[in-house]
């Protein structure tokens, strides 16, 4: 196992060269090296060491995507494809049914989708389409993102596309530091299931809702296409790449920032604030009642 100094050197190298805000990366580098020199990590191992470094990273730069992560099962020290964690993410999505936990038709012909991850728009397209096909003829939809932990920006754009009539809606932009370029995300022109139009949509959120889940909630709210019901979300808006540091440790580095086409901003650090602020464990009942009353 490499020493703490070696692990921190490798992690900070990725942060300094890749973090979306270069000046903040320099501040992080200085602060973590000072912590190391002071003995802050002496005696810590495994998960405890990663948790301590993450706490100190986020004290300097309160970005919830910026983390040092421990995994019990060893992995290749650096994937041969050098894909920033994409292969591991796709494998996770396959194991998690492309993020779709539950699809249900409720009494009153109201649809409910429980989404835990925003799947890749390529591999996940058929599963997303299958879920939307099953709720295509409902009168209203509850999109439950209370346990959604994030995922693919392109997958989030695909989910959003179902709630708009065509490919003419500019959803958001991603500014990427590495290329000094901006990528636009628009609604998709072709989808594998019918679009869900002209009917009420309710997005359920919690303090667990994060990243790609927040993207969908924020975008649909900004366009007044859905009502958000639940709790303010965690507040992570920066697309992130993951790099192996050791076979057990990975550093997550936000490499881009999101710019919503309506607001010009994002939810970083503040979360998505609901239209109806209620405890997460009551959000389903509140949204279901709201849908029934609106349809009545």
So what's the pLDDT on residue 170? 98
Do 121 and 156 meet the contact criterion of CB atoms below 8 Å apart? no
So what's the pLDDT on residue 77? 59
Residues 6+ apart with CB under 8 A from 112: 102, 103, 104, 105, 106, 135, 141, 142, 144, 284
| Same domain flag for 218 and 121 | yes
Name the residue range of residue 38's domain. Answer: 4-70
Last residue of a domain, one of 28, 53, 70: 70
| Same domain flag for 118 and 154 | yes
Residue (of 167, 153, 158, 163) closest to 129 by Cα position:
158
Residue (of 28, 34, 1, 24) closest to 12 by Cα position:
28
Average pLDDT per block of 10 residues along the chain, 296 residues long: 93 97 96 97 94 97 96 71 77 97 98 98 97 98 98 97 98 95 97 97 98 98 98 96 93 96 97 98 98 96
| Same domain flag for 285 and 185 | yes
Domain-located, residue 241: no
| Same domain flag for 111 and 212 | yes
So what's the pLDDT on residue 45? 87
So what's the pLDDT on residue 88? 87
| Same domain flag for 42 and 130 | no
Domain-located, residue 107: yes
Residue (of 51, 68, 60, 63) closest to 13 by Cα position:
68
| Same domain flag for 109 and 30 | no
CATH code at 144?
3.90.226.10
Task: Enter the DSSP assignment of 252.
Answer: E
| Same domain flag for 49 and 119 | no
Domain-located, residue 85: no
| Same domain flag for 111 and 226 | yes
Q: Can you tell me the distance from the alpha carbon of 227 to that of 244, in angstroms, rounded to the nearest whole number? A: 39
| Same domain flag for 214 and 133 | yes
Residue with tokens 């849908």: 291
Last residue of a domain, one of 35, 52, 70: 70
| Same domain flag for 46 and 122 | no
Domain-located, residue 76: no
So what's the pLDDT on residue 80? 45
* Whether the predicted model's global pTM rises above the 0.75 cut: yes
Domain-located, residue 165: yes
| Same domain flag for 66 and 195 | no
Domain-located, residue 262: no
Domain count, the chain: 2
Domain-located, residue 265: no
So what's the pLDDT on residue 101? 98
| Same domain flag for 58 and 194 | no
Pairing of strands 201-205, 140-144: parallel
Domain-located, residue 87: no
């Amino acid at each position: 196992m490499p020493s703490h100094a070696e692990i921190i050197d490798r992690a900070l190298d990725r942060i300094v060269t890749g973090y979306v805000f270069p000046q903040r990366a320099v501040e992080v580098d200085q602060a973590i090296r000072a912590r190391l020199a002071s003995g802050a990590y002496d005696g810590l191992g495994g998960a405890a060491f990663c948790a301590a470094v993450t706490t100190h990273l986020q004290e300097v730069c309160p970005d919830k995507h910026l983390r040092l992560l421990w995994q019990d099962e060893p992995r290749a020290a650096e994937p041969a494809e050098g894909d920033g964690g994409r292969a591991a993410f796709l494998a996770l999505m396959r194991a998690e049914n492309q993020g779709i936990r539950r699809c249900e038709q409720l009494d009153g012909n109201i649809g409910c989708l429980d989404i835990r991850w925003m799947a890749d728009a390529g591999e996940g397209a058929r599963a997303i389409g299958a879920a939307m096909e099953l709720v295509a003829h409902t009168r209203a939809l509850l999109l439950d993102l209370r346990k959604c932990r994030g995922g693919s920006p392109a997958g989030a754009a695909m989910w959003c596309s179902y709630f708009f009539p065509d490919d003419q809606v500019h959803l958001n932009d991603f500014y990427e530091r590495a290329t000094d370029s901006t990528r636009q995300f628009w609604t998709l022109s072709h989808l594998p299931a019918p679009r869900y139009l002209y009917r009420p949509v309710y997005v359920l959120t919690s303090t667990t809702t994060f990243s790609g889940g927040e993207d969908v909630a924020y975008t649909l709210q900004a366009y007044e296409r859905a009502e958000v019901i639940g709790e303010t979300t965690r507040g992570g808006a920066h697309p992130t790449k993951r790099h192996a540091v050791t076979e057990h440790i990975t550093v997550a580095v936000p490499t881009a920032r999101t710019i919503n086409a309506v607001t010009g901003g994002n939810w970083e650090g503040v979360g998505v604030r609901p239209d109806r602020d209620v405890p997460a464990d009551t959000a389903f009942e509140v949204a279901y009642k709201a849908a029934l009353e609106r349809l009545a």
